[in-house]
Amino acid sequence: MELATPDLTPRQRECVRLAAAGLTNRQIADRLTLSTRTAANHLQAAYDKLGVNDRTQVGRLLTAL
């Protein structure tokens, strides 16, 4: 699924998609070969841009799209 949000970077889109699928920050980091902190930073930046606070809200947003 591709997010229709041009403000997100490709990496932020990947992180958001994985978070919405239920992966933890550690699992996202492992899958994308990032540090856990970098994965968390990407997610937080995406949440800020999308106007949500956590992966539950982003999951609902993706379901609505």
Pick the CATH number of 10-64 from 3.40.50.360, 3.50.50.60, 1.10.10.10, 1.10.3720.10: 1.10.10.10
Confidence of residue 56 (pLDDT cuts 50, 70, 90): confident
Alpha-carbon separation of residue 4 from 7, 8, 39, 62, 64 (angstroms): 9, 9, 21, 10, 12
Mean per-residue pLDDT of the chain: 87
**How much of the chain exceeds pLDDT 90, in percent?**
60
Every domain of the chain and the residues it spans = 10-64
pTM of the model: 0.83
Rounded Cα–Cα distance for residues 30 and 50 (Å)? 24
